[in-house]
Amino acid sequence: MTAARIISWHSDPSVPAFAPPPGAVDAHCHVFGPMAQFPFSANAKYLPDDAGPERLFALRDRLGFARNVIVQASCHGTDNRAALNAIAQSQGQARGVAVVDPAISDGELEALHAGGIRGVRFNFLKRLVDAAPRDRFLEIARRIKPLGWHVVVYFEADMLADLRPFLDALPTLVVVDHMGRPDVSQGPGGADMTAFRALLDSRDDIWTKVTCPDRLDPKGPPWRDFAAATAPLVADYPDRVLWGTDWPHPNMQDAVPDDGRLVDMIPRLAPTAELQQKLLVTNPMRLYWSEAD
């Protein structure tokens, strides 16, 4: 079993030439395990090697970032202890997004809040999770609203039309992972981006992460199609975008991205200092560190 565990991250990422602004937040990353302490879910669709907080924080420092938002990875199911452990070890420099079961108690939700969780993730990718009825997700969204949390949704472009009634019904701020995985080769005016912009235009409390060129642009570095499709989105919705590495890049095996090159892409997505400040500091701080702490 151990031999089959996946290493999905670059062993020696470059130091980026681009220096993020002080206080920059990597707003989409994960931790795996360590498995001996925090076993993976019996329903996990992939079995990764350990990628714990020490590695994550070493990468954060190498890339010139100050903070992390740790998103519960599907391989840990609804057991958020690995993410909570990483947040606890971050000395206030990490917050998280959990995956929870609808049966969770109010006390457990409050404990997650105390542990640094500020949102829940609803994952619709069939290759990652078993299907969950949408009414259960809506119930969770209603439960977490009083805590001031938001909902993170992960879906693919061809699911958007079907998901619209569900997304429209969500009662909290919504963050869409990786822009709903558009086909970036269609360009900024292509069908996928046009449908996604219609979603953003339908409510002013839908945000997105301009993340994962490595997943969305099969032509590879320097990810030209991704930059061409994404930069106009950052320009048009500057107060509703987040950026993250996606480290340790769950499931990426064949083309593991160099995280330094991902960071070096930021000025092509957000060309001005003002846009960079919003993308990397102002926006994530508003969502994850809105209290005075």
Query: Which residues are known to be catalytic?
Result: 246
Q: Counting contacts by CB under 6 A, is residue 256 touching ligand 0GY?
A: no
Q: Are strands 241-242 and 206-209 parallel, antiparallel or unpaired?
A: parallel
Site track for ligand 0GY across 127-166, x = CB under 6 A: -x--------------------------------------
Residues in contact with ligand 0GY, counted by CB under 6 A, come to a total of: 10
Determine contact, residues 28/283, Cβ cutoff 8 Å.
no
Q: Counting contacts by CB under 6 A, is residue 206 touching ligand 0GY?
A: no
Residue nearest to ligand 0GY (CB): 74
Select the span of 73-81, 155-163, 257-265, 270-278 touching ligand 0GY (CB under 6 A): 73-81
Residue 95 neighbours by CB under 8 Å, 6+ apart: 67, 68, 69, 70, 87, 116, 117, 118, 288, 289
Q: Applying CB under 6 A, which of residues 68, 74, 80, 208 lies at the interface with ligand 0GY?
A: 74
Q: Counting contacts by CB under 6 A, is residue 50 touching ligand 0GY?
A: no
- The tokens for 79 are 């057991």
Determine contact, residues 261/14, Cβ cutoff 8 Å.
yes
3-state secondary structure of 191: helix
Least CB distance to ligand 0GY at residue 83 (A): 11
Give 41 or 89: the residue with its C-beta nearer to ligand 0GY.
41
Give 99 or 270: the residue with its C-beta nearer to ligand 0GY.
99
Give 112 or 175: the residue with its C-beta nearer to ligand 0GY.
175
The 10 Å Cβ neighbour count of residue 23 is 16
Least CB distance to ligand 0GY at residue 167 (A): 18
Select the span of 70-78, 79-87, 133-141, 280-288 touching ligand 0GY (CB under 6 A): 70-78
Q: Applying CB under 6 A, which of residues 183, 217, 246, 264 lies at the interface with ligand 0GY?
A: 246
Nearest to 245 by CA among 34, 62, 99: 62
Q: Where are the alpha helices (DSSP H) in the chain?
A: 53-63, 81-88, 106-114, 134-144, 160-169, 191-202, 213-216, 224-236, 259-264, 266-269, 273-277, 283-288
CA distance 149 to 175: 11
Select the span of 90-98, 198-206, 246-254, 284-292 touching ligand 0GY (CB under 6 A): 246-254
For 130, 148, 164, the CA distances from 29, given in Å and listed in that order, are: 22, 21, 26
How many alpha carbons lie under 13 Å from residue 164 in its C-beta half-sphere? 14
- The tokens for 11 are 């062993």
Q: Counting contacts by CB under 6 A, is residue 251 touching ligand 0GY?
A: yes
Least CB distance to ligand 0GY at residue 44 (A): 8
Contact footprint for ligand 0GY (CB under 6 A) = 30, 73-75, 128, 177, 215, 246, 250-251
